[in-house]
């Protein structure tokens, strides 16, 4: 996966790099530093997928760069849908903090509609 000849990017600054690690033997790998920012080009290649998923949930741009550019992940539309839902939920939680006292079922439905409206806003916004 990592040793094939293709172009990768540094997850920190986005600079293209030829390789992510150097293989000295079957058991010895050394991560490559980026030529521009001098940080490890992709720290996620040695992380467990659970940690990558946690960073995706936390909306870490480095984790998204790893998934999109430096891995063999192919379900980009699923990732986009998941990101959209997480951003909409995050916006919904921030705007609904002052509405803690729910008395009617109507108010629950109203907050659901607000979540869906924020979802559409996230989908069609340009940021």
> What is the Cα Rg of the chain in Å?
20
Residues contacting 108, CB < 8 A, separation 6+: 102
pLDDT at 127: 46
pLDDT at 53: 84
Residues contacting 43, CB < 8 A, separation 6+: 11, 31, 62
Distance CA 109, CA 115 (A): 10
pLDDT at 85: 79
pLDDT at 100: 57
- Asked whether residue 3 is assigned to any structural domain, the reply reads no
Kindly list the distances between the CA atom of residue 120 and the CA atoms of 5, 53, 112, 125, in Å, as whole numbers in the listed order: 39, 24, 13, 8
Same domain, 93 and 59: no
Give pLDDT tens digits along the chain (127 positions).
455 567 899 999 999 998 898 888 888 889 999 999 999 999 999 999 889 988 887 889 999 899 888 988 887 777 788 777 777 777 777 776 655 555 545 455 566 677 777 776 766 665 4
Residues contacting 31, CB < 8 A, separation 6+: 20, 21, 40, 41, 42, 43, 45, 46
Same domain, 13 and 46: yes
Count of domains forming the chain: 2
User: The domain containing residue 46 runs over which residues?
Assistant: 8-69
Same domain, 110 and 81: yes
Q: Which of 22, 52, 69 is the last residue of a domain?
A: 69
- Asked whether residue 27 is assigned to any structural domain, the reply reads yes
pLDDT at 33: 93
Distance CA 41, CA 2 (A): 12
- Asked whether residue 1 is assigned to any structural domain, the reply reads no
Query: Angle at the Cα of 65 (from 61 to 69), degrees rounded to 5?
Result: 170
pLDDT at 107: 55
Q: How many CA atoms lie within 13 A of 41 on its CB side?
A: 22
């Amino acid at each position: 996966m990592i040793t094939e000849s293709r172009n990768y990017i540094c997850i920190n600054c986005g600079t293209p790099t030829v390789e992510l690690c150097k293989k000295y033997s079957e058991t010895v790998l050394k991560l490559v530093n980026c030529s521009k920012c001098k940080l490890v080009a992709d720290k996620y290649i040695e992380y467990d997928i659970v940690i990558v998923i946690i960073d995706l949930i936390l909306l870490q741009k480095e984790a998204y760069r790893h998934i999109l550019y430096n891995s063999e992940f192919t379900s980009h539309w699923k990732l986009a849908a998941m990101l959209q839902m997480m951003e909409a939920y995050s916006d919904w939680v921030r705007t609904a903090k002052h509405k803690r006292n729910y008395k009617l079922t109507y108010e629950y439905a109203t907050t659901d509609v607000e979540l869906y409206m924020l979802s559409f806003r996230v989908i069609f916004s340009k940021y």
